Amino acid sequence: MNMKSVIISSLGLLVAGDAFAATTQITDYNQGWYNKNDPTQESVGPTANYIVGKQVIGTKSHYDDFFSFDLSGIASGSITAASVEISGGQNVFKSGPNGVFKLYASDVDPATDRSGFLKSLKPDDLIGEVSVTDGGTIGSFDPTLSDVIVTFNATGLADLNADAGDDFYIGGTFTGAKAYNLAGLKFENLFNGSGNVAGAELSVTTVPEPSTWVMLLAGFVALGAAGYGGRRHRASIAD
């Protein structure tokens, strides 16, 4: 293979970056919920319950949940795909046919600034959504889990890359579902995640940074040059 072929082959490997892609699983280190209708109600902690949606028990409650992730070790600009799986824990949700679970990114730590975090969950920071139907079971010693998986959109990937190496905060909403009754309680719609478990696991797919690509290309070219020079040297001896 001549030098030109080595360079072309090296570029081909770099363009086909999937060969160098790696997926990292990151479990949330903090989670919980806030009741937007009652500032005195909240749940915050590494294994806190995380409820999102609305329920009616005497007075209406409107919950937004949150999850916090540590992205240290992830390089900015290296994330090309991501999704987050949110566990239904040991509880269930019942949404009817039109429930929509949405996730938003925030630059406010939900554990230290409740008001700022809730205000930061804006439509232009929507990072992904998924439609869900009735899930899980209840009244059982071994309930069926009701996990949801949200794939990050372009906004979500940009937010992830911007926060790479630091903490990353997301919050959810659950809307559009039909009302239902359960155990004498009325729910408008609710995703009910149990505590005592990690609520969310973030999966990020990364490729080497541009500087690493340059180093890899230089390495390939150097190897090609060494091989090419060796062949020329052997040819000279043969002559």
Mean local confidence (pLDDT), 202-211 = 81
CB 96 within 8 A of CB 177: yes
pLDDT per position as a tens digit, 50-99: 888 887 766 788 889 999 999 999 999 999 999 999 886 544 455 555 67
Structural domains in the chain, CATH included, are 1-21+209-239 (no CATH), 22-206 (2.60.120)
How much is the pLDDT for 6?
Answer: 45
- State the Cα angle at 137 between 131 and 143, rounded to 5°: 120
Residue 114 pLDDT greater than 80, yes or no: yes
How much is the pLDDT for 147?
Answer: 76
What confidence tier does 9 reach under pLDDT thresholds 50, 70, 90?
A: low
Separation CA 21–CA 19 (nearest Å): 6
pLDDT per position as a tens digit, 26-57: 999 999 999 988 888 999 999 888 888 887 76
Angstrom CA distances, 211 to 50, 181, 218, stand at: 40, 57, 11
